[in-house]
Amino acid sequence: MTQEQKQVVVLGAGGAGLMCGARAAARGRSTVILDHAEKLGKKILISGGGRCNFTNLEARAETYFSENEHFAKSALARFTAADFLAIVEKHGLPFYEKKLGQLFCLDSAQRIVELLRIECAQSGAEIRLGTKVESVERREEGGFLLHTSSGEIVTESLVVATGGLSIPKIGATDFGHRLARKFGLVVTPLAPALVSLTFGPDFLQRFGDLSGVSVDAEVSCRGKTFRENILFTHTGLSGPAILQISLHWFPGDAIRINLAPDRALEAHFLERKKEGSRRELKNLLAEIWSERLAEKLAEEFALPAGPMHQVSDQRLRELAQSLHAWELFPMGTGGYGKAEVTRGGVATEELSSRTMESKKIKGLYFIGEVVDVTGWLGGYNFQWAWASGVAAGENA
């Protein structure tokens, strides 16, 4: 069997792999991007509710979770949100800022897939879909030998861009993590992230029938705080603030929810008491939250019945404190079937932060979600895919 010769093989035609392939080919490197999927960019197509939140203007190393919080700095500084935006504008894609620096396609995520396909075609990077990689060997004389379903390929550089484990039904695999381990690279613990949090029967019995109710809140865990909506569901809690905190939550941790981030509840309660309010505390809560939620909170915090002017100041203070810092212990997460990303991946200590090349194995690169760099919700993960893809594409 003849062996095809390439200078760069990229495994995985997601955002990171396509960006990297286009950059490598633009430098004149013979490049092929392999993917086992039959269709290009499936994850991009389902992203951002079908409109792909393709970057975030606020992306910086602090908006990512990694064992080394400084690792992403270099790549993010050398290929910024503005750099990706310049490509978007070059292709004439209409976009809009939804909120908090999040940029979305105005019409469809398909436009981003098309943009990447064109970038690859113009630079000469070949995209080969429906191709399985059976094995990867390191050659004594340098480079790698790949056995694929479409024949053998010898390459100088191998870029692994096979993504994380989330949404297995559209082709996510642990191929990249296994390959890293096979070559002796450390992979940090993996977990679903940007995902709903599940709770035990106790919580569900108390709050399960609030399913569908959402409330503006501040959610904290391990020193990180996010202010957005939380949503009660039939399995626990979801909504943007919960998805964000799931990136920082580890089993056994409590999360803390401030249900009234804009109000000084203690002063409010004491004030109303001073006015001699004859209202029940429960009814006072219903002025702040919906009646259903107020009812549940009244039960949760064992609110005394009767007019509030009879409730002690101490009890009112305690109640205000509880509502500003409601401590809950999630049981788990919605899992990889629901998660937007995988936390953890190829350890950053194994890679050059400038090029994404393995420090141990010359010519082997890891980019995108397979690396232990995971962004917040809001376009940060694509920005990492582009930036790490460019970093490797300029060097591989």
Ligand X SMILES: Cc1cc2nc3c(=O)[nH]c(=O)nc-3n(C[C@H](O)[C@H](O)[C@H](O)COP(=O)(O)OP(=O)(O)OC[C@H]3O[C@@H](n4cnc5c(N)ncnc54)[C@H](O)[C@@H]3O)c2cc1C
* Footprint on this chain of ligand X (rule: CB under 6 A): 11-17, 34-37, 43, 46-48, 52-53, 133, 161-163, 166-167, 171-173, 175, 340-341, 368-369, 379-382, 385
- Least distance (Å) between residue 204 CB and ligand X: 25
Q: Which is nearer to ligand X, 47 or 123 (CB)?
A: 47
Q: Which is nearer to ligand X, 239 or 368 (CB)?
A: 368
Q: Which is nearer to ligand X, 39 or 91 (CB)?
A: 39
Phi, psi for 189 (deg, rounded to 5): -55, 140
Q: Which residues does 130 contact at the CB level (< 8 Å), separation at least 6?
A: 35, 36, 37, 38, 149
H-helix or E-strand spanning residue 43: helix 42-46
Of 26, 290, 176, 291, the C-alpha closest to 7 is 26
Q: Which is nearer to ligand X, 6 or 36 (CB)?
A: 36
Amino acid code (one letter) for 191: A
Buried b (16+ CB within 10 A) or exposed e, 142-172: ebbebebeeeebbbbbbbbbbbbbbbeeebb
- Least distance (Å) between residue 9 CB and ligand X: 11
- Least distance (Å) between residue 147 CB and ligand X: 12
Q: Which is nearer to ligand X, 43 or 343 (CB)?
A: 43
- Least distance (Å) between residue 86 CB and ligand X: 18
Residue recorded with tokens 């979600």 = 369
Amino acid code (one letter) for 358: S
Q: Which is nearer to ligand X, 129 or 267 (CB)?
A: 129
- Least distance (Å) between residue 51 CB and ligand X: 8
Residue recorded with tokens 């809950």 = 328
- Least distance (Å) between residue 390 CB and ligand X: 13
CA 82 from chain centre, in angstroms, equals 20
- Least distance (Å) between residue 91 CB and ligand X: 18
Q: Answer for the pair 334, 195: CB distance below 8 angstroms, yes or no.
A: yes
Q: Which is nearer to ligand X, 123 or 166 (CB)?
A: 166
- Least distance (Å) between residue 59 CB and ligand X: 9
CA distance 121 to 210: 51
Q: How many CB atoms lie within 10 A of CB 261?
A: 13
Of 95, 23, 89, the C-alpha closest to 54 is 95
Q: How many CB atoms lie within 10 A of CB 271?
A: 11
By Cβ distance, which residue is nearest to ligand X? Answer: 14
